[in-house]
Amino acid sequence: MQARGGDTTGDTARDGAPRTWLVLGEKAGDNAQVLAIAGALGWPCETRRIAMHERWRFGKPPVRASLAHVDLARSDALAPPWPDLVVTIGRRLSSVALWIQEQSRGAAKLVIVGRPRRLAHRFDLIVASAQYRVRDEPNVLRLGLPLMRVDRAAVDAAARVFADRFAALPRPLTAVLVGGPTKPVRFDAAVARELVARAAATSDGGTLYFTTSRRTPAEVADAIAATLPAGAQLFRWAPDAPDNPYLALLGLADRFVVTSDSVTMLVEVARLGRPLAVCVLPARRRWWRRIASRRDLEAVPALLFERGLAAPLGEPFRAPGGDVPDELALVAARIRALFGAASDPPAGS
Asked whether 90 and 27 are in contact (CB, 8 A), the reply is yes
Residue 344 has a pLDDT of 42
Both 180 and 241 in a single domain?
A: yes
Task: Compute CA distances 84 → 10, 19, 29, 49, 274, whole Å.
Answer: 15, 5, 25, 18, 40
Specify the amino acid at residue 237. Answer: W
**Same domain, residue pair 280 and 133:** no
What's the structural domain count of the chain? 2
Q: What is the mean pLDDT of each run of 10 residues along the chain (349 residues)?
A: 42 72 93 95 97 87 93 97 97 96 98 91 95 90 90 95 96 97 90 98 94 96 97 94 95 97 92 95 69 66 93 92 84 96 44
**275 and 170 in a common domain:** yes
CA 177/CA 220 separation, integer angstroms: 13
Residues 251 and 126 in one domain: no
Q: Are 212 and 205 in contact (CB under 8 A)?
A: no
Query: Are the C-beta atoms of residues 44 and 17 closer than 8 Å to each other?
Result: yes
Same domain, yes or no, for 138 and 101? yes
227-236 contacts at long range (C-beta below 8 A, 24 or more positions apart): 227/192, 227/193, 227/196, 227/197, 228/196, 229/196, 229/200, 229/203, 231/170, 231/207, 232/200, 232/207, 232/208, 233/169, 233/207, 233/208, 233/209, 234/209, 234/210, 235/209, 235/210, 235/211, 236/212
CATH code assigned at 218: 3.40.50.2000
Shared-domain flag, residues 182 and 248 = yes
User: Omega into 81 within 30° of 0, i.e. cis?
Assistant: yes
Same domain? 248 vs 161: yes
Whether residue 66 sits in one domain with residue 164: no
Question: What pLDDT sits at residue 12?
Answer: 44
Do residues 162 and 258 share a domain? yes
**Is 345 domain-assigned?**
no
| pLDDT score recorded for residue 287 | 54
**Residues 219 and 278 both lie in one domain:** yes
What pLDDT sits at residue 174? 98
CA dist 225 and 327 (Å) reads: 39
Same domain, 102 and 159: no
Tell me if 284 is assigned to some domain.
yes
Let me know whether 176 and 139 are in one domain: no
Q: Distance of alpha carbon 314 from its chain centroid, rounded?
A: 25
Whether 4 is in a domain gets the answer: no
pTM of the model: 0.84
Domain assignment of residue 138, given as a range: 14-147+327-337
CB within 8 Å of 147: residues ≥ 6 apart? 32, 33, 36, 37, 113, 127, 129, 327, 328, 331
